[in-house]
């Protein structure tokens, strides 16, 4: 399994090639978008709780900036020095205060019950991806640590990708643009989880044959999401000269549970596994809200590049693509054990 220092080095190296710029915005409009994302989280924290909020996974500080307007004390944590540095620069530029801690989300350096709220936005799939071959265990550890760090009545907010449900298998993804065809040829060979040595990673094998047939709808989702981000990173020049070194090619956007079925987690299953991980740490999380946020512009973009066919040959693009790109927003509250 990759060590904390190896993961940090990998993320810092990616940051030198524009990775942080590709995931966070710096415009007034992007800040408003971030404030809208965290609004439900802020509203869910009871007024009687005055403990600080912990934001795990800083990027370049966009969500920390958005949370700073809530007037609730805030602490930021990231494993990468580059993210800590960027967030410090942003806080100084925009005049908001946030203590920053460099640490691994699997080993939070805080006492139990320290926080009134914890937010993890697009963090869990990175923990899962970079901690192979025990990615699911690392996913569980991270959630358990978060549950312990919350006070009773505190709120955990998770924003993440999820596998569409129900699963349709087999399914065919057909690239209909030259860019999509080139990407599928590249991605089928480049996708490999984690930063460990070759052969140490065994949680996911992406299935994509020459006809574009995938074994599960989750594999189709992986290709669609990666293509969207690959295109985005190309436009922002956030890809190294060698695409084989593209950071996102080492990430699974979906999480698989070990076992004979090895299925990707859908939104309901992801929430259930979050509660199970908390229970393993002796904590109780109550699911208060689960929403799927559909992203119309991204869906229209992907429909220009791919057609999705079911096992009967019917075009199901307008059904599958929106499910594949939707973001999960889940809010949990911690109950007394």
Q: For 225-256, how does the pLDDT look when each residue is reduced to its tens digit (9 = 90+)?
A: 999 998 888 887 766 656 666 888 888 999 98
Residue 207 has pLDDT above 60, yes or no: no
d(CA 183, CA 133): 26
Contact 87, 61 (CB under 8 A): yes
- pLDDT tens digit sequence for 165-201: 765 555 788 899 999 988 888 887 778 777 654 444 3
Separation between Cα atoms, residue 230 and residue 225, nearest integer Å? 9
Per-residue pLDDT tens over the stretch 303-333: 999 998 887 888 889 988 999 999 999 999 9
Cis peptide before 166 (omega within 30 of 0): yes
Evaluate if residue 202 carries a pLDDT over 80.
no
Q: How far apart are CA 268 and CA 306, in angstroms?
A: 27
Rounded to whole angstroms, the Cα distance separating 141 from 158 reads 15
């Amino acid at each position: 399994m990759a060590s904390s220092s190896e993961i940090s080095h990998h993320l810092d190296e990616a940051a030198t090639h524009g990775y942080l710029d590709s995931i966070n915005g710096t415009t007034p409009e992007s800040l408003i978008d971030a404030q809208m994302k965290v609004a439900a989280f802020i509203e869910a924290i009871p007024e009687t709780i005055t403990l600080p909020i912990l934001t795990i996974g800083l990027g370049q500080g966009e969500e920390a900036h958005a949370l700073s307007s809530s007037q609730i004390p805030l602490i930021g944590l990231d494993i990468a020095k580059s993210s800590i540095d960027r967030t410090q620069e942003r806080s100084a530029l925009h005049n908001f205060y946030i203590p920053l801690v460099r640490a691994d989300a699997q080993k939070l350096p805080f006492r139990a019950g320290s926080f009134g709220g914890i937010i993890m936005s697009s963090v869990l799939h990175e923990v899962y991806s970079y901690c192979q071959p025990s990615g699911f265990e690392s996913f569980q550890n991270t959630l358990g640590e978060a549950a312990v760090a919350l006070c009773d009545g505190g709120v955990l907010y998770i924003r993440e990708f999820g596998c569409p449900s129900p699963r349709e298998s087999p399914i065919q993804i057909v690239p209909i643009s030259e860019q999509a065809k080139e990407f599928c040829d590249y991605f089928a060979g480049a996708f490999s989880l984690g930063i460990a040595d070759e052969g140490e990673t065994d949680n996911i094998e992406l299935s994509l044959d020459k006809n574009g047939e995938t074994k599960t709808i989750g594999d189709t989702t992986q290709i669609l999401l990666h293509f969207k981000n690959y295109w985005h990173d190309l436009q922002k020049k956030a890809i190294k000269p060698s695409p084989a070194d593209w950071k996102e090619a080492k990430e699974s956007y979906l999480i698989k549970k070990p076992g004979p079925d090895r299925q990707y987690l859908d939104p309901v299953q992801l929430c259930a596994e979050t509660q199970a991980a908390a229970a393993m740490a002796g904590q109780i999380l109550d699911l208060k809200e689960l929403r799927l946020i559909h992203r119309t512009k991204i869906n229209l973009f992907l429909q220009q590049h791919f057609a999705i066919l079911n096992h009967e040959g019917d075009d199901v693009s307008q059904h599958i693509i929106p499910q594949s790109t939707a973001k999960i927003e889940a809010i949990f509250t911690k109950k007394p054990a």
